[in-house]
Amino acid sequence: MSDFTLQTHDDGVAIISWDVPGKSMNVLSLEGLAELDAHIDTVLADDAIKGAVITSAKKDFAGGMDLNVIARMKENAGDDPARGLFDGIMQMHRILRKIERAGMDDRNKGGKPIAAALPGTALGIGLEIPLACHRIFAAHNPKAKIGLPEIMVGIFPGAGGTTRLVRKMGAMAASPFLLEGKLSDPKKAKMAGLVDELADDPVAAARDWLLSEPKFVKPWDEKGYKIPGGAPYHPAGFMTFVGASAMVNGKTKGVYPAAKALLSAVYEGALVPFDTALKIEARWFTNVLMNPSSAAMIRSLFINKEALEKGANRPEAPDQTVKKIGVIGAGMMGAGITLVSALAGIEVVLIDQKQEAADRGKAYTASYMDKGIKRKKASEEKKASTLALITATTDYAALKGCDLVIEAVFEDPRIKAEVTAQVEAEIGEDCIFATNTSTLPITSLAKASSRPANFIGIHFFSPVEKMMLVEIIKGRETGPLAVAKALDYVRQIRKTPIVVNDARFFYANRCIIPYINEGIRMVAEGVNPALIENAAKLVGMPLGPLQLVDETSIDLGARIARATKQAMGDAYPDGAVDEVIFWMEAEGRLGRKTKAGFYDYDEAGKRQGLSDAVKTHYPQAEDQPDLIEVQHRLLFAQVLEAVRALEEGVLEDIREGDVGAILGWGFAPWSGGPFSWLDMIGAPYAAERCDALTEAHGARFTCPDLLREMAARNQGFYKRFGPDARAA
C-alpha cells in the first residue's frame, strides 16, 4: 500500500493525497518521500496536468517525520553516519526544491503551480512540504495546530523549514516559530504569515487558484529579492541577530545545541543564495543530529514519551476508560484533578467535608474556563458543558456508579484511612480506589482497604493542569486491573504516565529531594548561594535547588524531614540539611508564601534576590568550589537515586526513569534524563566521579553496585535495559 496516491482530473488538476496506512496521523518515511518524488515527476512530465494539490486523506495533514528515518540514514552510510545524514537531508532538499522550482519558466516550457491544502494539523515536515509549495491553503479548523515544534525535542526544522520560513517572514517574525516551537491554529497562522489562505474546503480553494493562471514563482527565486527585516549585514538585520543570540543564550544557558545551531544556520544562510543556504542548513542539521544530546532528547521526549502514552507497560486487560470519577478533597490538588477530568469529558463527583469547600473546588474549573474565554481558547458553551459534568457535594452516596475514585485529602494516614472506609461503603466492587500522595507508602495506606487489589497510588504534580507527568504507584497487592485503569485514565486526561513500585518517596520525590538537600548542604558549608543556583541553571535545571525549596515551602521540607527521620531512625542521613531547614523555619523564612526564604520577596511576592540574612547566618567560605564540582554534586545527587531505584525494582523501565525525570521535576532536558546522561558520560567515568565525590563529600555519593558492575563491563543503560534489550 502507498503513502501517497496521485489522481488526475479532467480540469488538469492533479491531487496528491497523503494517507499512511495503519496510522491515525501521517508521518513521512523514506518510502513515502520516494513516492512523493515520483508523483511530482509525473506531474511535471504530463502535458495534460496544469498543476497539483498536495493534501491529506486524513482529518489532519501530517504530524511530522518518522524519526526512525534518522537512524536509517545513519545506518545506510556504514562507518560514516554523518555523511549518511547529510546526503539523506540533501536528498530531501532536492525533492522539495523540485516542487518549488516547478514554478520556474526555464529550459523547454512554463512551470506548473503546486499548492498545499491542509485539512487540519500540520507539524514539522508536515509544514516544511507546504512551505516548498507555491501557496498554502488551510481549513477553518480551530482544533488544528500548525508549526515547527522540532526545537522541543532537541533538533530544528532541517528539511528547508528554517531557511524558507526566514525568507518568507524575516528572522524576527520567524523566531517564535523556530526557536520556541510555537504552534498556532489556522487563523493565527494566517495572521502570522505561516499559511496564505483559509477556506472551508482547502482542496477546492487550491484547485480554483491553480486554474486562475496565477503567478507562482517564490520571492527568493526572483531577482532583487531581499529578506524581510533586513539581512545580517543590514543595520536592522544585524540588530535582530544580536538580540536573537542574547535571547538564545539567556534561555538555553548554552546547553541546548539545537538552538545555537539553528541560529547559526539562519545567520549564515541569510548571507548567501537560497540553494547554498539549504546546504548550510543541512550541515548544521547534521551537526545537531550527531550530537548525543539531540539523540537523547529525541529518544526521551519523542520516542519514549509516545510509547509510554500509548501504554507500553500496560497490563493485559479489557478497556478501562473512565466514565464517572469521584474526587475526594476539594483543595488545590482535588480541584485540579476535577478540572482535567471534566475537560476530558468525564463525569465528576467532587466531595469535601463542607459544601462551601466543594463549591470552591468546582469554581476552580469555572475560573480556568473564564481565563480560556478571555484568551479566546474556550467558549461560554464549553464552560457550561464542562461545569455540567461536575457535581460538588458532601454526600458520599453520590459516588455510586463511579468506576474510579481518587482521594486527595491531607497527607495524614489516619485521615486517608477514614476516607477509604467511607468511599468503599458506597462504591461498587469493580471500582478502583486511588490515593493521591507524594510521600506515604501505598502498601501501608492499602491496609485501610477491604480490597487492596483495587487500591493504587496516583501521584499528580502541582499545578495539575500544567504538569504533564502522572506517577502511578503499585502497592504490594495492587492488581493489574487497577494499573490498567490508572493508565487508561491518564491517557484520557492527556498526560504522560510512569508506573513504579512502592517505596519511600516513590521515584520522582526520591530523586528531587537529594537535589534540594545538596543545595542546602552547600549553603551550610559556605558555598556562595549564587554559585549554587547558577551552577544548576547552567547545567540545564529549570530552577536552582534554593529557589525550588522556596517555591514548595520550607515548612513542607521540615515536615518531610521530621517524618523521614522518625521512620529511618539512626540511618537518617540528612542532619546537616535539617540544621538549615529548622533554623529557617524558626525564623519564619518559609519561602515565597511568607515573602522570605533563601530569597527575599517584595509585597507582591516577586523574587528580589538571594537573602542577605541567610548569607549572614551562613558566611561564605573564602575558597569557593569550581563550577563543575558544584554541578556534579547537584546532578549525581539525583542520578544515583535513579540508579538505586532501578537497582531496587522501584523502576521497572528506564524509559520511565528518563521521561519521568524530565517531565516531573525538569531534570536537564538536554541530557535526555538521568540514564541517558549516564550513558553520555559513560559508566566508567560515572563510577570514578562517584568515588571522588564520596571521598570529598560523604557516603551519599557511594557508587551503586549496579553502576559499578556496568562500569567494569563498560556497559550502557540503554544497551542493557532499553526496549531492544528487553525484547531480546
Please determine, for residue 108, whether its predicted confidence score (pLDDT) is greater than 50.
no
Q: Please report the pLDDT score of residue 226 as a whole number.
A: 87
Q: Please report the pLDDT score of residue 612 as a whole number.
A: 92
Per-residue model confidence as pLDDT tens digits over 185-213: 999 999 999 999 999 999 999 999 999 98
Q: Return the percent helix, strand and coil in the chain, to nearest 5.
A: 55, 15, 35
Per-residue model confidence as pLDDT tens digits over 279-303: 999 999 999 999 999 889 989 998 9
Domain ranges of the chain: 4-290, 324-505, 509-627
Q: For 591, which DSSP code?
A: B
Q: Please report the pLDDT score of residue 153 as a whole number.
A: 85
Q: Can you tell me the distance from the alpha carbon of 183 to that of 199, in angstroms, rounded to the nearest whole number?
A: 19
pTM: 0.87
Per-residue model confidence as pLDDT tens digits over 309-328: 999 999 999 999 999 999 99
The strand pairing partners of 609, in sequence order, are: 600
Mean pLDDT for the chain?
92
At the top level of CATH, which class does the domain 4-290 belong to? alpha beta
Catalytic one among 471, 641, 652, 656?
471
Q: Can you tell me the distance from the alpha carbon of 542 to that of 536, in angstroms, rounded to the nearest whole number?
A: 8
Q: Can you tell me the distance from the alpha carbon of 599 to that of 586, in angstroms, rounded to the nearest whole number?
A: 16
Q: Please report the pLDDT score of residue 238 as a whole number.
A: 61
In terms of pLDDT, which residue wins out, 504 or 26?
Answer: 26
Please determine, for residue 231, whether its predicted confidence score (pLDDT) is greater than 90.
no
Q: Give the three cell numbers for residue 444.
A: 501501608
Q: Give the three cell numbers for residue 439.
A: 510521600
Please tell me the total number of residues recorded for the chain in this structure: 728
- The yes-or-no answer on residue 509 being catalytic is yes
Catalytic one among 287, 509, 611, 671?
509
Three-state secondary-structure class, residue 216: coil
Q: Please report the pLDDT score of residue 107 as a whole number.
A: 39
Q: Please report the pLDDT score of residue 237 as a whole number.
A: 60
Please determine, for residue 706, whether its predicted confidence score (pLDDT) is greater than 80.
yes
Catalytic one among 56, 438, 449, 454?
438
- The yes-or-no answer on residue 462 being catalytic is no
255 confidence band (pLDDT: 50, 70, 90): confident
Q: Can you tell me the distance from the alpha carbon of 634 to that of 517, in angstroms, rounded to the nearest whole number?
A: 9
Give the fold, CATH level 3, of 509-627: N-(1-d-carboxylethyl)-l-norvaline Dehydrogenase; domain 2 (1.10.1040)
Q: Give the three cell numbers for residue 255.
A: 546547553
Which own/partner pairs from 702-711 qualify as long-range (CB within 8 Å, at least 24 positions apart)?
A: 702/640, 703/640, 704/640, 704/643, 704/644, 704/647, 705/647, 706/643, 706/646, 706/647, 707/640, 707/643, 707/678, 707/683, 710/683, 711/683, 711/684, 711/686, 711/687
Amino acid identity for residue 560 in this structure: I
Please determine, for residue 96, whether its predicted confidence score (pLDDT) is greater than 50.
yes
Give the fold, CATH level 3, of 324-505: Rossmann fold (3.40.50)
- The yes-or-no answer on residue 93 being catalytic is no
A 10 A CB-CB count for 372 gives: 16
Catalytic one among 134, 459, 632, 697?
459
Interhelix angle 171-179/257-269, rounded to 10 degrees, is 160
Closest alpha carbon to 117 in 103, 135, 99? 135
Per-residue model confidence as pLDDT tens digits over 566-608: 777 766 777 788 889 899 899 899 988 899 999 999 998 899 9
Please determine, for residue 224, whether its predicted confidence score (pLDDT) is greater than 90.
no
Q: Please report the pLDDT score of residue 106 as a whole number.
A: 45
